[in-house]
Amino acid sequence: MTDIPESRHDGEEIPLDVVSLETPSTMDDAASKVLTGNESSLEATIPALSGAQIDEQPVEPLETGDVPTSAASIPTEPGPPPGAPTLVLPIQAGAKTEKKKLVALFVRDEDMKELWERASKAEREIISSINNASTADELLNQLEYARNELLAGKENYEQAERYISEVEYRVAFSQRVVRLSSSLGFGLFAYETIWAFVLLVFLFLVLGPAAFSSAAIPSSKWSSPDVVFLLGSMTWGALGGVIGAWLSLVKHISLDQDFDRQHLLWYINSPVMGIGVGAVIFLILRAGLLSITGPSEAINSPLVIYLLAWLSGFQQNVFTDMIRRLLQVFKIEGDGKGGGPTTTALYPEKPGT
């Protein structure tokens, strides 16, 4: 007989004298009793197995294509057996535990309640101060997201606070726009209106008809028609700046509702800038550096000069585009022969080419 140690279900090893198996069912019964822990039945089964002789029979190898019929030989998919507990990595479990400790330390019940009250206060301010329906709907939806985060637990406190803070900022900005519009807005409108009145008086009463006709000869108070046209161009440039400031006030106060004091200098400087732009436009066109009729041809009509001066004062991009084209006229390039620099042709190239 040969002693073969066999492991029990509780980890202990018991000697089992296995010599022969009369029938396969006898061994199956013993194995099932070992697995089920029925020790009393096992003791009755073991003596029945002792003393039997082992019949040595050669084992024929399986041929190719043979399929084993034993259930133990059928491979199973890898993984834990059914009903086994799910394994959690120690690092992940530790991180989650540490996060819960920090949340419990820094986020109190009073903080959650205070944040909920901030959301309720912001909702009341949206209803009372936001007069744009789409903006109000967007802010109310954001408050809904914040409350859902709070109801989900303390772990979402930071995200909920961010939602509520953004709503509070936009509500405060809207209230600030209302205050600035009633103070600075009306003051700037009056400032631009005074500029417009002064410019129109100067254009029609001081310059008179001489400013609108190249055939009109100025009286003794004007030495040259060019002086009249220069003053007229400066006046129309300033008028363009005034009208541009008016439209900007309407857009940012009434339509977009994003008026801010940081643009105050632009509104104050717009008519003054128009005066300077009008003077430069007159010089460029009278010199023939830029022309709409042909290369190097000066513009004599004052109406065309006034129109371009007004456009440049109204929209400074027109003026900057003309300056860009003027710089291309005086573009400096090498002659490619080792000599000094040369200038390109007076007819300007198209910007961006």
Residue 321, token pair as written in the block: 């585009």
Residue 157, token pair as written in the block: 């406190």
Domain check: are 37 and 127 in the same one? no
Helix 316-329 / helix 264-286 crossing angle, nearest 10 deg: 40
Helix (H) or strand (E) holding 7: strand 3-7
Residue 85 in domain: no
In tens digits, what is the pLDDT along the chain, a chain of 353 residues?
444 444 444 444 444 444 444 444 444 554 444 444 454 444 444 444 444 444 545 545 544 444 444 444 444 555 556 665 555 545 455 677 777 788 888 888 999 999 999 999 999 999 998 988 899 999 999 999 999 999 999 889 999 999 999 999 999 999 999 898 888 999 999 999 999 999 999 999 888 888 887 655 545 466 678 888 999 999 999 999 999 999 999 999 988 888 988 899 999 999 999 999 999 999 888 887 766 655 555 666 788 889 999 999 999 888 888 888 778 777 644 444 544 444 444 334 444 44
Domain check: are 333 and 190 in the same one? yes
Residue 237 in domain: yes
Residue 40, token pair as written in the block: 């009393």
Report which of 301, 344, 341, 348 is spatially closest to residue 323, judged by C-alpha positions: 348
Residue 95 in domain: no
Residue 353 in domain: no
Domain check: are 217 and 233 in the same one? yes
243-288 tens-digit pLDDT: 999 999 999 998 888 898 889 999 999 999 999 999 999 988 888 7
Residue 221 in domain: yes
Domain check: are 248 and 308 in the same one? yes
What pLDDT sits at residue 50?
46
Coil, strand, or helix at residue 244?
helix
Domain check: are 11 and 43 in the same one? yes
Domain check: are 217 and 286 in the same one? yes
Domain check: are 127 and 220 in the same one? no
Domain check: are 44 and 142 in the same one? no
Domain range enclosing 34: 1-48
Domain check: are 16 and 130 in the same one? no
pTM: 0.59
What is the C-alpha to C-alpha distance for residues 181 and 17, in angstroms, rounded to an integer? 102
| Torsion 15-21-24-29 (CA) sign | negative
What is the C-alpha to C-alpha distance for residues 196 and 113, in angstroms, rounded to an integer? 56
Residue 268 in domain: yes
Indicate the residue among 116, 148, 178 that finishes a domain. 178
Residue 94 in domain: no
Q: How many CA within 13 A on the CB side of residue 229?
A: 25
Burial classification of residue 168, based on how many CB atoms lie within 10 Å of its CB (0-12 exposed, 13-18 middle, 19 or more buried) = middle
Say which residues have a Cβ less than 8 Å from residue 17's Cβ, sequence separation at least 6.
1, 2, 3, 4, 46, 49, 50
Per-residue burial over 196-231, b if 16 or more Cβ lie within 10 Å, else e, is beebeebbeeebeebbbeeeeebeeebeebeebbbb
What pLDDT sits at residue 348?
41
What is the C-alpha to C-alpha distance for residues 203 and 238, in angstroms, rounded to an integer? 11
Number of domains in the chain: 3
Indicate the residue among 48, 68, 86 that finishes a domain. 48
Pairing of strands 332-334, 3-7: unpaired
Indicate the residue among 149, 178, 207 that finishes a domain. 178
Domain check: are 211 and 232 in the same one? yes
Domain check: are 270 and 336 in the same one? yes
Residue 143 in domain: yes
Domain check: are 204 and 335 in the same one? yes
Contact 269, 242 (CB under 8 A): no
